[in-house]
Amino acid sequence: MGAHPRPAYRIADIVRRHHKELEASHFLNLDQRRLLWFIVACRTPAMGGHLHYCPNCDKLHPVYHSCGMRGCPNCQALDQEKWIAARSARILPIRHFHVIFTLPSELRRLARGHPKDIYNAFFRVVGAVLEELGRTWLKSALGWTMVLHTWKRDLGDHPHLHVIVTAGGLLLDGSGFRHVEGTYLFPGEVMGILLQGKMMDALRHLFAEGAFPELDAAAFETLMDSLWRPKGWVVHAEPPFRDANHLLGYLSRYVHRIAISDSRIVEVTPDKVTFTTRDGKTKTLHPVEFLYRFVQHVLPKGFHKVRHGGLYASTRKGGRLEQARALLEQEIAPEESEKRTRKIAEKLEELAFKGHPCPDCGSIMERTRVRIPPLRAPPGEPDA
């Protein structure tokens, strides 16, 4: 068993060659600059590491640390798999809907300048929409997990929330669990109207608190007038999936990374980067424009791009999530419940880290106690 092949083209190489051009032509904030540095330094002597011993080859090999940065395309595949397994252990054994809430294009510029304010409000509003409709339409408490994406496949701006929503909920009095048997959760138009009204209220509240100092009253009212366009508030609800793990797998690809991975890059030259978009199509950009689009999707440090609401926000022992699970377990055959529990346990055991493969023979190496101290980044890499 050999090591995984290295991708033909790497984002780290594009950063190394073009970051100076990027910084000379565009303003980058500290979070963006830090990510570029770590992408280049990830799994290199700049990060330090340990010597590992291969008992099969009887050789020592240096293994350098990964940077662990959210957004780095070089690492965190293991964290991605662990996230899926952890969410699978908490998710209820029922169908789930996939609902996508999109911010109108008129708010993209404001979101770039004030990502924490706009995206925090977006999360709160979408949660309020689902909570209100669950309470009024179903007399139930739903459960949902939200993941923020800010990009299109061509790396352009497109802020939207992917939401996994339970196809039903715990009755408000806790006496039972109500299932949604149809092919839609709530009408998309109704969700869109609520999204529009609640988000515009949230924007007015933020403006009153001085969140947008670059906007005077007239400019803010002009922005608000543009947001009355109903077609700008898009909510797309897909038919429910019986196995929510499919959705978790899709969303997990961008929980720890952003926008694009090395595998989507098909050609790099000194003046262009070509990468796949959708349906076999490609996009070609100048390397500086490619990097600029890439860093636009770096979220502020400490910002949580995954959030849970309703039943899935419950962590208290004996809380609403456990009540719902107990009710649902009564509807499932004991052998099915045991099979699901065993499958999750096996997946978690499989993901337990067992060591690095030898670059020569692929055997699992043993980590020695010999540390490799971090080195300064070599010339040509971004400054910290």
pLDDT range class, residue 1, cuts 50, 70, 90: very low
pLDDT given at position 302 = 87
Task: Give the tens place of pLDDT for each residue, 250-288.
Answer: 777 777 777 888 889 999 999 999 999 988 899 999 999
How far from chain centre, in Å, is Cα 12? 20
Structure confidence at residue 240 as a pLDDT band (50, 70, 90): confident
pLDDT greater than 50 at residue 383: no
The per-residue pLDDT for range 129-177, each reduced to its tens digit, is 999 999 999 999 999 999 999 999 999 999 999 999 999 999 999 999 9
- Of 73-82, 122-131, 266-275, which gets the smallest average pLDDT? 73-82
Q: What is the pLDDT of residues 310-343, one digit of tens each?
A: 999 988 887 899 999 999 988 875 656 556 556 6
Mean pLDDT of the chain: 87
Q: Is the pLDDT of residue 90 over 60?
A: yes
β strands within the chain, DSSP E: 49-54, 59-64, 96-102, 140-141, 143-151, 157-166, 168-171, 177-179, 235-241, 265-269, 272-276, 282-285, 306-310, 366-372
pLDDT above 80 (res 100) = yes
Axis crossing angle, helix 334-350 with helix 77-90, rounded to the nearest 10:
160
pLDDT of res. 114: 95
Distance (Å, rounded) from C-alpha 273 to C-alpha 203? 38
> By mean pLDDT, which of 104-118, 180-194, 242-256 is the weakest?
242-256
- Kindly state the average pLDDT of the residues 101-113: 95
**pLDDT, tens digit, 9 for 90 and up, residues 12-43:** 999 999 999 999 999 999 999 999 999 999 88
Q: How far is residue 334's CA from residue 341's CA, in Å, rounded to a whole number?
A: 11
**Cα 29 to Cα 72, 124, 232, 286, distances in angstroms:** 17, 26, 29, 21
CA–CA distance, 359 with 54 (Å, rounded to integer): 9
346, pLDDT greater than 60: no
pLDDT at residue number 308: 94
Q: What percent of the chain has pLDDT over 90?
A: 60
Task: Please tell me the predicted confidence (pLDDT) of residue 248.
Answer: 78
Q: What percent of the chain has pLDDT over 70?
A: 88
379, pLDDT greater than 50: no
Q: What does the pLDDT average to over 93-106? A: 93
Check residue 376 and give its pLDDT: 67
Residues 6+ away with beta carbon under 8 Å from 375? 45, 46, 48
Angstrom distances, CA of residue 254 to CA of 99, 106, 284, 330: 17, 24, 22, 35
| pLDDT tens for each residue of 195-214 | 999 999 999 999 999 999 99
